Amino acid sequence: MDDTQTTYKLKAQIIKAMAHPSRLMIIEELAKGERCVCDLKRVVGGDMSTVSKHLAVMRHAGIVEDRKAGLQVFYRLRVPCIIQFFGCVEAVMAATFATFRERPLGDA
């Protein structure tokens, strides 16, 4: 595999690390500031081990960093520009809903 292929694979891995509902919720919460795992668990629900694994995926991809403080581990976004992208994702959704409005059910 050449360099170009490797680059695309790395980029895909970073994007894939965002591509899960719980991980999006985590990113949005971290956009407000540093949070401990316990905070994030409260936000996304589910098992602590599941949250921990979601964080490991994002940490491995380089999206988040952690900082240990006593018993707790605090996570934060490593590259805040990620948040700006959410607006674009919402634009895709808006375009989709606009299409439905333009061509409602039964419209020729």
State the residues that interact with DNA by CB under 7 A: 16, 19-20, 22, 36-38, 41, 46-57, 66, 68, 70-73
Q: Residue 78: which of DNA, its own copies, none does it interact with, CB under 5 to 8 A by kind? A: its own copies
Quote the least distance from Cβ 32 to its own copies, whole Å.
16
* # residues near its own copies by CB under 8 A: 36
**Tokens (6 digits) for 60:** 């491995």
**Tokens (6 digits) for 101:** 């409005």
Quote the least distance from Cβ 71 to its own copies, whole Å.
25
**Tokens (6 digits) for 46:** 């589910």
Q: Residue 37: which of its own copies, DNA, none does it interact with, CB under 5 to 8 A by kind? A: DNA
Q: Which string of DSSP letters, residue by residue, matches 30-80?
A: HHTS-EEHHHHHHHH-S-HHHHHHHHHHHHHHTSEEEEEETTEEEEEESST
Q: Using the CB atoms, write b or e for 13-46: b if 16+ within 10 Å.
A: eeeebbeeebbeebbebbeeeebbbebbbeebee
Contact pick of 62, 67, 69, 72 for its own copies (by CB under 8 A): 62
| Interface residues toward its own copies, by CB under 8 A | 5, 8-12, 14-16, 18-25, 61-63, 78-79, 81-82, 84-93, 95-96
